[in-house]
Each structure stands twice: as structure tokens, then as C-alpha cells.
Chain A
Amino acid sequence: MSDIASRLDAPARIQVSKTYKLYVGGKFPRSESGRVYEVTDSKGQWLANAPLGTRKDARDAVVAARAAVKGWSGTTAYNRGQVLYRVAEMLQGRREQFAAEVATAEGISGKKAAALVDAAIDRWVWYAGWTDKVAQIAGGANPVAGPYFNLSTPEPSGVVGVVAPQSGYGFSFLGLVSAIAPVIATGNTVVVAAAADAPLPALSLGEVLATSDLPGGVVNVISGRTADIAPTLASHQDVNGLDLSGAIAAEGPGSATELEAAAADTLKRVIRPALDQAALDWTNAPGTERLLSFLETKTVWHPMGI
């Protein structure tokens, strides 16, 4: 594998390299295309081959994500919180591996990369605590002028496509986590189009999620060309929301504008990319925007009488 990984091993031994795979429906398939693409570090040195996910892989992932909605949104908020916290626990144990992947992906020092991984772990913990509180900040009783009980509660939108961040400080893992965790915290399921040039932390995250009590299908990770995968998610009729954080802002095929326009066909809820993605710093406090973006407010009325 990479030179960082090899430092950890005894020099005399040939290390066992990892085959990176997609994460779909709780399983680790290869791309249906049977193809891979080279992932390099910031200096252009080969790191690994990543599966070249296709439109069909994205479609399969949507099917898996849809199948998982009922169970995941139906579980208790307390339970979802524990699962998210379990993700943080699992990540803690693999901190060094992720630090190594982040360092090569973003071309930063091992120390900075480790700090970003720590921040990502802390972010999982932060969102783990939100699962059973969001309904209380986003919902509530409405004092209607009549004899009715009237309550608004937030519910998950359903399946959300996430075009993972592709730039900004900490994008490859902290940014990824900052996009995924708030969406699933509220009971949505996601299909992630991993950062095309830096997919390894995302693919490795799949391995962590698979061992974190997270039901299969809640998070699905597809690596490959954003221009293949993102439009599939944007136009898919069974996708309810679209996070375009990592979409290129410019006009043209695969651009945020085009993806947003495709999403309009089924009136998906959309998070637009930042105007200047490169200037983003994913270590900034996230606030509640992402947590609240893929929620539907349901208001229930009932008469009060004897």
C-alpha cells in the first residue's frame, strides 16, 4: 500500500494490501463495471485502485437505501444515537489508519490529519447526541385558535444523495462525516458519491459503519467519477434529497446547477454547494442547518372534546 502504511510494518515483511470496495446495502461489492481507477496522493503517487462506480452501482445503492428507510427511520431516536456513538467508538480504534488516509488524500501532515480525524470522531459524538433532541428544537405544539390538539414533528425526508465534499480544509473525512452524520441522525438513509480524487477515507468509513451496528443500506458509498454518479442521484425519482456540497459550482455537465435542475424534476430538497468550496474549513462548528435540511415537518390536528 502506501509508504505511510509500510512504515508501520517490519521492513522485511511484504504487507497485505487492502482491496478497496464499494459499500452498498451493508455489503462490499466490487463495481458492477468490473473496473477500477487509480487513486494517487497529492504528489501524484499511486495509493490504491478504487472501484469505478457506475450509474448502475448508484441505482443499486438507491434501492438499498430505500429498503433501509423504514427500519432506520422507525427505530427509536435513542437507538439511533447509540448507533452513531458506536461509529465514533469504532473510529477511535482505527484513528491511525484514517489519519494516514487523510494525510495522503489532502496532502497535509500526519499531525494535522490526526487532528482532523479526532474532529471527525467528535463530530459523530456530537450528532449522536442530536438524534433524540432534534424533534424538540424543530417541532412543537401550536396554539391554534380552536379546540384542537396541534403538534408539529420533524420526519426524515427519506433517501438523500450526498455528493461528498471535494475541497476545503478537512474535506476528505471530516467534511464527509459532516455531510453524512446529520442526515442519518434524523432517520434518513444516504447514498454517498465519494470525493472522486480522494475516495479512500470514504471507502474505509464503510468498513467502520459495517461494524458499528448501523443497519445495512443506511449509508452506501460509491466511488467513481462524480459526473457519472451525481447525475444519477440527482435525477433518480426515488431520491428525496440531494446534498451538493461537493458538486462543482460552475455551469456544464455534472455541475451543481445542472444537478439542481435535474433534482427539480421530482422537487428534491437540495443543499447547494458553498460559493467558494476551497475556502471552506470543515473544522468550523457545523450548526444545525444540515441536521434540519432533510426533514419534513408533519403537523397533526385532532379535536379536543368529550
Chain B
Amino acid sequence: MSTVAANALGAAGGGLQDVAASEASLRRFLHGLPGVDAVGLEARAASLGTRSIKTTAKAYAIDLAISMIDLTTLEGADTVGKVRALCTKARNPDPSDPGAPRVAAICVYPDMVATAKAALEGTDIQVASVATAFPAGRAALPVKLADTADAVAAGADEIDMVIDRGAFLSGRYLDVFNEIVAVKEACKRPDGTAAHLKVIFETGELQTYDNVRRASWLAMLAGADFIKTSTGKVAVNATPPVTLLMLEAVRDFKAQTGIQVGVKPAGGIKTTKDAMKYLVMVNETLGDDWLTPHWFRFGASSLLNDLLMQRQKLTTGRYSGPDYVTVD
């Protein structure tokens, strides 16, 4: 997860190297993307949501989903104790079953990165940090870059940045693009490696699916390693149709450029049933290439316990209850 192409579009640009040459060319490109029919997109997502995942498929999907979780705490009230507890949970999600898979990452604010890093010492669990004046993103660029650099210096493996929605909605696409490029630069470490960059759109604020598709391409063109729906801090977070649209975007981007980009829905995904729907969407839109924690993540906290309860049910044949999973 720590090796990053210096420039996402490098040699294999798919003819897109010049798209961001100017505000006009970038706008022309983004507005030339195919439109999204909202009703059709939502119907497709809903239809995939009716897949019936049973027995062996369910067991596979539960373990896969657990392994894809960015176990998250992003509260003003976060403490070292809270973060350590969460890291313990990440290492050993189900004390009653050591065979339960570990989560992919712990996601915290930058000032908790060092704590998390220390707590996860010796595991391959990644530490992800939000940055760039998360969640609003309303700060000057130098502040955002300092925020990012601070998290990277503290040991963050992954950076979850937010885009400037104000700039995006007012049509200043090149500003958004340049900011992503700058943050990506700030993700670099002195040893030449770099933290993985996830770009958060806050799709609930972008309002339209057309905007989500444009934001997806803009971020991928700027070098995002992952595109992520939401901060979890606004009224509307990840939804199946928004995620499906972003899956289609990474599919098309790979088809055109050869570059694979990951997707992370975040916020509001609370149940195993929800997680199954997302995995079905990944499976039927992208297939095997994305069915790994390297390329798909869930930004979630309470989801993990529901997955563990369902997992216990499959293992023991009895329905579990909240007292049989840990509250951290």
C-alpha cells in the first residue's frame, strides 16, 4: 500500500495527459463525460441489492467485508485510550474466535496517528489519517498541506483528504485538481515512498450524480489512489447508487488508462446486509480485481460488530447478541 506512482497518468495516460492543462480543458473534459440518469442508477443499485447471499457465499463475504474495514473513530472526544482500545479490537476483532480476520486499517485524526501506529506495531493493519482540515476542508492550502505532512510524519500509511467542495461547486475544477496534486506531493516520505491517498468527495454535498462522476474522474486524473464517498459527518453519506457510480468510474478509468483506483464508501454502512449489497456491487461491476482490501474499503465503525455477530451465527448455528461482541 505504500508504493505510489509518482504521477498517476505517467506514461500510460490513455490520452488524458493534457486534460488538466487549463481550467477550460479540464471543464470540457469533465462536462463531456456521459451523463448519469439518477433513476436508472438507483434502480440498478436497488436491483443488485436484492441478491440473496447465502451459506458459503455469505461466509466468504463476511470475512471479506471484515478485512476491508477501515475501523474508524473521528470524534472530538477521541482520546489515546479510545484509540488504543480500537486498535486492540482491530488486532483481534472477535475474542471468542481467533480465526476472525483482521480489519484493513484504523482511521483516526492526525494527532492520534502516533498512538495508533504504536498500538498496531507488528501487524499489517494500516493506519489511515484524515487530513486537509477534515471534515469541512475549509482552511488555507498551506494549512492543509501541513496537516497532511504532519500525519505522514507521525507514521500514517494512508491519508484521507477532503476536496474543496466550494471550489468544485463553483466550477473551479482546476483548483480542486491542483490541491489534490499538492496533497499527493505532501504524502511523500523522505525515503521516497508515500502514503496512500484517498480523496473524499462528500457526495452528500455534491448533490448530483453528474457531479460525483466528474469528481471521480477529476480525482483519478489528479492521482488519487482511492476515491471515497463521504466524511460521515454530513446528513447523507455513502449510498449504494453513489458507490455504484464510483465503481463504474474506476472501471472506466482503468479501461482507458490501465490504472487501477480503489473505492471506499464511508458513513452509514452499519449492517451485514448493507455490506453484502456493496460487495455484490463490487463483484458485478468490477469483479475479482477489486475484491480485496487493497482496492475496496468500508469506512465504518459499528459495521464490524454486526459482521462479527453474523459470523458467529454461521459458525455456531445460533443467533448472537450484542453482549457477545465487544464494545470498544
Contacts and interface: CB of A to CB of B under 8 A. Distances in A.
Interface residues of B, number: 8
Interface string A125-160: 000000000000000000000111000000000000
Nearest to A303: B39
A304 interface: yes
Interface string B91-107: 00000000000000000
Contacts, number: 16
B37 interface: yes
A8 interface: no
B63 interface: no
B248 interface: no
Contacts of B37: 303, 305
B150 interface: no
Interface string B26-50: 0000000000011110100000000
Contacts of B42: 305
B70 to A, nearest CB: 29
B17 interface: no
Contacts of A306: 38, 207-209
Interface majority SS on B: helix, strand, loop or mixed? Answer: helix
A146 B40 CA distance: 12
A303 B208 CA distance: 15
Nearest to A305: B38
A131 to B, nearest CB: 35
Interface string B204-215: 000111000000
Contacts of B207: 306
Contacts of A304: 39
B207 to A, nearest CB: 7
Max chain B CB contacts within 10 Å: which of A147, A304, A306?
A: A306
A146 B42 CA distance: 12
Contacts of A147: 39
Contacts of B209: 306
A147 B241 CA distance: 15
A147 to B, nearest CB: 5
Nearest to B241: A305
A294 to B, nearest CB: 35
Interface in B197-233: 207-209
Nearest to B36: A305
Nearest to A147: B39
Contacts of A303: 37-40
A300 to B, nearest CB: 15
16 contacts: A146-B39, A147-B39, A148-B39, A303-B37, A303-B38, A303-B39, A303-B40, A304-B39, A305-B37, A305-B38, A305-B39, A305-B42, A306-B38, A306-B207, A306-B208, A306-B209
Interface of B: 37-40, 42, 207-209
